[in-house]
Amino acid sequence: MPRQEVLNEIKAAEDDAEEIVAEAEADAEERIAEARSDADEIRTTAEEEAEQDAADRLEAAHEEINARREEILEEGEAAREELVEEAQDRIDEAVELAIDRFEEAVNAQT
């Protein structure tokens, strides 16, 4: 094989190799860009899910607090009604006791 032909084949092989390397580098850069884009998308989705989870937990906590508040108010109202009933029941006793003491005081003066 003549020397010029060998040189031409070597040159062609080098050109092919450069083209393969350039394509591989371009492909690698494209894959890196896609990976970064995918990572950004995953990060954004994770942040959105975390924010939604936090909002859901906060809402659940508010609902729990409001439910407990209502229980406490109902318990307080029931206790108040019981105290009012007890006080009403004792009014007659208190009036009777006051009249008895008044009569004793009047009788003691006479």
pLDDT tens figures, 42-67: 999 999 999 999 999 999 999 999 99
pLDDT tens figures, 10-53: 898 998 999 999 999 999 999 999 999 999 999 999 999 999 99
pTM: 0.53
Which are the contacts of 110, defined by CB distance < 8 A and separation ≥ 6? Answer: none
End-to-end CA distance of the chain: 157
> What was the pLDDT predicted at 2?
83
Whole-angstrom distance, CA of residue 64 vs CA of residue 61: 5
The residue ranges of every structural domain in the chain are 1-77
